Amino acid sequence: MEILWSLLTLPYAPVRGLTAVLKVVAREAESQRQNPVHIRRELEEIDAAAAAGELTEEERNRLQQQVLNRLVSPAVPSGGTDRPTRGR
């Protein structure tokens, strides 16, 4: 029976493989996005743009806050919920 199932689902193997690869890529991208080294580099780029006059003070503060929020509140994993749980 297992052989029959394997033969019947064989056409879907590339889709399953692609899904697995995409999950790994998404997990790595999120890891890189929250890496403190990358966050520091982004903050330095924002400061450099503000010093060059490319950003206003309000834009600079808003961008810095967005970057820092990634350190404090990591993204909710897919399938998760962002609602707080009730204590019992």
CA 9-13-14 angle, 5° bins: 145
- Rounded CA-CA distance 36/57 in Å is 23
Model pLDDT, residue 38: 87
- Ordered mean pLDDT values, 10 residues apiece, the chain (88 residues): 84 89 92 85 92 92 89 60 46
Residue 83, classed as helix, strand or coil, is coil
- Rounded CA-CA distance 10/28 in Å is 28
Q: Most distant CA pair in the chain: distance in Å? A: 69
Model pLDDT, residue 44: 93
Residue 38, classed as helix, strand or coil, is helix
